Amino acid sequence: MNKLSKLVELAPDDVAMLEAVTARSRKYAARQDVICEGDRPGPVFVLLEGWACRYKILPSGTRQVMAFLMPGHSCDLHVNILAEMDHSIQAISPAMIATISRSEMQEILDDYPNIARAMYAAQPIDEATMRAWIVSMGRRSSIERAAYLMCELYVRARSIGLADDDSFAFPLSQRILADALGMTAVHINRVLKELQLRGATELNRGSPDIIDPIKRVQIAGFDENYLHRRLNNTF
């Protein structure tokens, strides 16, 4: 949370407030739903630890993941306007999540303009990420798409201190990668093998995985401007 809020200068009492709110938090197991499609949106969630994802299951039974959430992300700041959730949110790894009631959140936004600004500042970034995701889904091959997603995740992980220069803990199963990239578990497997062959990534199965420097993965087509802009924390 503090990490994300580097978007804006925070005063000491802003930080104090954040820490206070954040103290009340709950643990979620990997693969546990935080909120389900159809639920009436309740409080605002803030991810403190672990990864989560937004996903939707179609009538056909297939699943599509539309976003990965990392520590510092808050969910549905204002989704309350919609009558009910049009998708679900699920913890990927064991996660710690703070809960803030809607009224409380409103007070915070009113009384702490810095925090409000930071939260609104986070939004266009999420939107840009979604637009990039759409571009990937529409116009990139499966291998490019996979490499691109890894770059995206690497950059984000790094911006909140979860990644070194040349590797980072990658908690995504092939299954969830496939659901995020719009392909089959079978196929993502072959794609990963190919990426490994080309020396772009190095994944170790099962347990948390390692990915090589972005430079290599770039080969597979990450928008460098976008990347640099974000690594230089214009972000």
Partner DNA sequence: CGGCAAATTGAGGTGCCTCAAGCTCTGTGG
Partner DNA sequence: CCACAGAGCTTGAGGCACCTCAATTTGCCG
Phi and psi based region of residue 123 (left: phi greater than 0; alpha: psi -120 to 50; beta: remaining): alpha
Q: Which of 23, 24, 103, 139 binds a copy of itself (CB under 8 A)?
A: 139
103 is an interface residue for a copy of itself by CB under 8 A: no
Cβ neighbors of 135 (< 8 A, separation 6 or more) are none
- Given 15, 25, 96, 140, the residue binding a copy of itself (CB under 8 A): 140
For residue 216, give every residue at least 6 positions away whose Cβ sits within 8 Å of its Cβ, in sequence order, or none.
Answer: 199, 200, 201
- β-partners of residue 93 are none
Task: Measure the CA–CA gap between 146 and 143, rounded to whole angstroms.
Answer: 5
Answer for which of 130, 164, 190, 199 binds a copy of itself (CB under 8 A) is 130
- Cβ proximity to DNA: between 119 and 143 the closer is 143
Task: Choose the binding region for DNA from 32-40, 114-122, 161-169, 190-198 (rule: CB under 7 A).
Answer: 190-198
Q: Is 180 helix (H, G, I), strand (E, B) or coil?
A: helix
Binding footprint of a copy of itself on the chain (CB under 8 A):
38, 54, 56, 58-60, 62-64, 66-67, 78-79, 81-84, 86-87, 120-121, 123-128, 130-135, 137-140, 179, 181-182, 221, 223, 225-226, 229, 234
